[in-house]
């Protein structure tokens, strides 16, 4: 590509609304442009990177024996009624009507559609196991779209779904997918960790998230320094041993050390009048919604107080009716209410994601946590809550736990029969009897990976792409092309020679001053830069600099080719 014929549109100013490095750099490099909240146009430059990721994902999925197909992104309501998710999926589901007033959603995921496909296509155990995948646009009406394409509303996902006769067969494909994911993220040059994740409401036997390690990550993960144990924090907390900790004297202390805060304290912190805080107060913060039930001198524990401090955001007051609608429980009763044993502990795998809406009311052996503003409340008995902290003993007894931040870029999940049962997806087994199929699902956030890579790999000058994701591997920069035809010709020749060798190269023939040209190439993260100048031409050398090197060095064309193989 000749840059004079490309649309490169780097931006000098750091956009005010961009909070994290990848969002800033993607905007500055001109990779994405915002259309509306959570909606982005991928510029020609951004698309080159996105396609690189997509191709690696596709190659490895094919290598792992998965078969590509493409499903519609618009899906009929009836199908979602069959699994009960039309209502249950909550506010992330974008519902739309056609001209005949028939209802559809824009697919946030494709379990329903693929299972419908499978129930029609698959008739015999001889067709199993089979693993279908697609790379396609999803829409989720995220409560708080942020960080650019990291948490967008429209985004590109690779989603795969496997069908099996037996649990053993599912476990085998799951292992193959796990390996494929490991290959994908390794090839993409990312530093990542596979962690155990909760299987939650869906049940099933196993689930792992692939987390790219980055301080800006929205997720917390716990891993042992003495074994392979690694889990996301929710899973780690469900398993963590308490024996290491001093026995809690009260249930409340087990959640966190309580500190007494008066309504006046909280009101002062929030900057609202205390008489507005009589009942329940909801805060809308950076991390979603947090609720506090304030009655009398309700205790605010340190976790919450810290959370409040860090959230800071705008505060809103909610009526009892609003709380009731959101959590299905009267706010005034959250404290004293006793949960019957029949109320299950609901750990929904999406709940923590939508919003961490934490209700108080610890005093009576019950604690509502991770409640989702739009759907299920996660109800946990206080006795079941552990706060996993740095230095805790690993649940497997080997080593101690460390806590790190991560970005979820992939998720594999043994679904079991949930969807196949709901949609009656059966095959004939080798006895000639009908049997419900067992399923697995495997997602990768293709567009999120682009942002995650930048979070991990950038410096003051800009993006530092891993070779596999760079829009071009080499930039050939021409100093003063208009006035030095020989330089221009040599640059053209080198550019053509590199491309002919299959080394993707961009020719910066825009005629910019060296400073501006170099700054752009560093900002957009090109791994190798070669400068052709009058001086070098005479000496028979090129001026080479790797993206993370601090000095240029003179090398010959042959040396350059050797370096790039």
**What residue ranges bind Mg ion (CB under 5 A)?**
353, 408, 411
What would the 3-class secondary structure string for 57-121 be?
A: HHHHHHHCCCEECCCCCEEEHHHHHHHCHHHHCHHHCEEEECCCCCEEEECCCCHHHHHHHHHHH
Nearest CB to ligand ATP, comparing residues 138 and 307: 138
Q: Per rule CB under 6 A, is residue 410 in the interface with ligand ATP?
A: yes
The answer to whether 411 contacts ligand ATP (rule: CB under 6 A) is: yes
Q: In angstroms, rounded to a whole number, what is the distance separating the alpha carbons of residues 326 and 262?
A: 26
Quick one: residue 255, left, alpha or beta (phi over 0 = left, psi -120 to 50 = alpha)?
A: alpha
Q: How far is the CB of 423 from ligand ATP (least distance, A)?
A: 19
Query: Is the CB of 350 or the CB of 392 nearer to ligand ATP?
Result: 350
Decide if residue 353 touches ligand ATP (CB under 6 A): yes
Residue 157 interacts with ligand ATP (CB under 6 A): yes or no: yes
361 binds, among ligand ATP, Mg ion, none (CB under 5 to 8 A by kind): none
Min dist CB 143 to ligand ATP, Å, is 10
Which range binds ligand ATP by CB under 6 A, 45-53, 239-247, 384-392, 445-453? 445-453
Minimal distance, residue 158 CB to Mg ion, in Å: 13
Q: Which option in ligand ATP, Mg ion, none does residue 409 bind, with CB closer than 5 to 8 A by kind? A: ligand ATP
Q: Does 448 bind ligand ATP (CB under 6 A)?
A: yes
CA angle at residue 146 from 95 to 24, to 5 degrees? 140
Least CB distance from residue 221 to ligand ATP, whole Å?
12
Query: Taking Cα atoms as reference points, which of 67, 65, 64 lies closest to residue 184?
Result: 64
Least Å distance, CB 152 to ligand ATP, is 4
Contact of 197 with 349, CB cutoff 8 Å: yes
Q: Which does 48 bind (CB under 5 to 8 A by kind): Mg ion, ligand ATP, none?
A: none
**Strands 154-164 and 300-301: what pairing?**
unpaired
Using CB under 6 A, which of 409, 450, 478, 507 touches ligand ATP?
Answer: 409
| HEC secondary structure over 367-428 | EEEEECCCCCCEEEEHHHCCCCCCCCECCCCCCEEEEEEEEEEEEEEEEECHHHHHCCCEEE
Q: Tokens in use for 524?
A: 């957009």
Please list, in sequence order, all residues whose beta carbon lies within 8 angstroms of the beta carbon of residue 140, skipping any fewer than 6 positions away: 92, 93, 94, 108, 153, 155
Picked from ligand ATP, Mg ion, none, the partner binding residue 157 (CB below 5 to 8 A depending on kind) is ligand ATP
Phi/psi-derived region of residue 499, left when phi > 0, alpha when psi is between -120 and 50, beta in every other case: alpha
| Integer Cα distance of 141 and 5 in angstroms | 37
The nearest distance, CB 55 to Mg ion, in angstroms, is 23
CB 411, min distance to Mg ion, A = 4
* Unique residue bearing structure tokens 């995650």: 452
Residue 111 binding partner per list Mg ion, ligand ATP, none, with a CB distance cut-off of 5 to 8 Å that depends on partner kind: none
Q: How far is the CB of 83 from ligand ATP (least distance, A)?
A: 15
- Give whichever of 298 and 411 is closer to Mg ion, judged by the CB atom: 411
**In what side-by-side order are the strands of the sheet with 94-97?**
74-76, 103-106, 94-97
> Contact region for ligand ATP (CB under 6 A) — 17-25, 59-67, 147-155, 493-501?
147-155
* Nearest of 406, 284, 291 to residue 357 by alpha carbon: 291
Closer residue to ligand ATP in complex, CB, 157/213 = 157
Among ligand ATP, Mg ion, none, what binds residue 445 when CB lies within 5 to 8 Å by partner kind? ligand ATP
| Interface of this chain with ligand ATP, residues 98 to 117, rule: CB under 6 A | 109
Residue 256 CA to residue 295 CA, distance in Å, equals: 19
- How would DSSP label each residue in 461-507? TEE---GGG-S-SEEEEESSTTT-HHHHHHHHHHHHHHHHTT--EEE
Nearest CB to ligand ATP, comparing residues 159 and 509: 159
- 155: contact with ligand ATP by CB under 6 A: yes
Any idea what the Cα angle at residue 373 is, between residues 371 and 379, rounded to 5°?
20
142 binds, among Mg ion, ligand ATP, none (CB under 5 to 8 A by kind): ligand ATP
Nearer to ligand ATP, 410 or 536 (CB): 410
- List contacts with ligand ATP (CB under 6 A): 109, 140, 142, 151-152, 155, 157, 350, 353, 408-411, 443, 445, 447-448
């Amino acid at each position: 590509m000749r840059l004079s014929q490309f649309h490169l549109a780097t931006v000098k100013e750091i956009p005010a609304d961009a909070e994290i490095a990848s969002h800033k750099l993607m905007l500055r490099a001109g990779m994405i442009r915002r259309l509306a909240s959570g909606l982005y146009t991928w510029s020609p430059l951004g698309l080159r990177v996105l396609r690189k990721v997509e191709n690696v994902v596709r190659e490895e999925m094919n290598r792992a024996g998965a078969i590509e197909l493409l499903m519609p992104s618009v899906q009929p309501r009836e199908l979602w009624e069959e699994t009960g998710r039309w209502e249950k999926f909550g506010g992330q589901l974008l519902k739309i009507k056609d001209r005949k007033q028939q209802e559809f959603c824009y697919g946030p995921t494709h379990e329903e559609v693929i299972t419908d496909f499978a129930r029609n296509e698959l008739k015999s155990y001889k067709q199993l196991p089979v693993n279908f995948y697609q790379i396609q646009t999803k829409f989720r009406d995220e409560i708080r779209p942020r960080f650019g394409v990291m948490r967008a509303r429209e985004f590109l996902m690779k989603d795969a779904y496997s069908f099996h006769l037996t649990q053993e067969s599912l476990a085998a494909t799951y292992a193959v997918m796990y390996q494929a994911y490991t290959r994908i993220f390794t090839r993409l040059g990312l530093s990542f960790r596979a962690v155990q994740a909760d299987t939650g409401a869906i049940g099933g036997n196993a689930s792992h998230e692939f987390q790219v390690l980055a301080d800006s990550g929205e997720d917390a993960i716990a891993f042992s320094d003495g074994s392979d144990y690694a889990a996301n924090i929710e899973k780690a907390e469900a398993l963590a041993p308490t024996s290491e900790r001093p026995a809690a004297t009260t249930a409340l202390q087990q959640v966190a050390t309580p500190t007494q805060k008066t309504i006046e304290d909280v009101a002062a912190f929030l900057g609202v009048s205390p008489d507005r805080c009589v009942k329940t107060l909801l805060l809308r913060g950076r991390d979603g919604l947090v609720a506090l039930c304030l009655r009398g001198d309700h205790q605010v524990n340190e976790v919450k107080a810290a959370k409040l401090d860090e959230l800071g955001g705008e505060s809103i007051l909610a009526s009892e009716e609003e709380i009731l609608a959101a959590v299905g429980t009267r706010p005034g009763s959250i404290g004293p209410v006793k949960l019957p044993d029949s109320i299950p502990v609901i750990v929904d795998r999406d709940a923590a994601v939508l919003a961490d809406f934490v209700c108080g009311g610890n005093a009576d052996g019950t604690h509502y946590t991770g409640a989702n503003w739009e759907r299920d409340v996660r109800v946990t008995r206080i006795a079941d809550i552990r706060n996993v902290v740095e230095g805790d003993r690993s649940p497997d007894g080997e080593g101690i736990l460390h806590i790190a931040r991560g970005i979820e870029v992939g998720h594999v999940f043994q679904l079991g029969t949930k969807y196949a049962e709901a949609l009656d997806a059966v095959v004939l087994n080798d006895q000639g009897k009908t049997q419900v199929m067992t399923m697995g699902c495997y997602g990768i956030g293709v567009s999120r990976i682009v942002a995650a890579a930048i979070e991990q790999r950038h410096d003051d000058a800009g993006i530092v792409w891993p070779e596999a994701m760079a829009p071009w591997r080499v930039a050939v920069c021409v100093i003063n092309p208009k006035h030095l035809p020989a330089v221009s010709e040599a640059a053209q020749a080198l550019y053509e020679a590199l491309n002919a060798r299959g080394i993707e190269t961009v020719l910066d023939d825009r005629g910019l001053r060296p400073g501006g040209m170099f700054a752009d190439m560093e900002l957009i993260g090109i791994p190798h830069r070669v400068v052709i100048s009058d001086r070098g031409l005479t000496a028979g050398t090129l001026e080479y600099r790797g993206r993370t090197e601090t000095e240029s060095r003179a090398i010959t064309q042959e040396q350059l080719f050797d370096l790039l193989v």
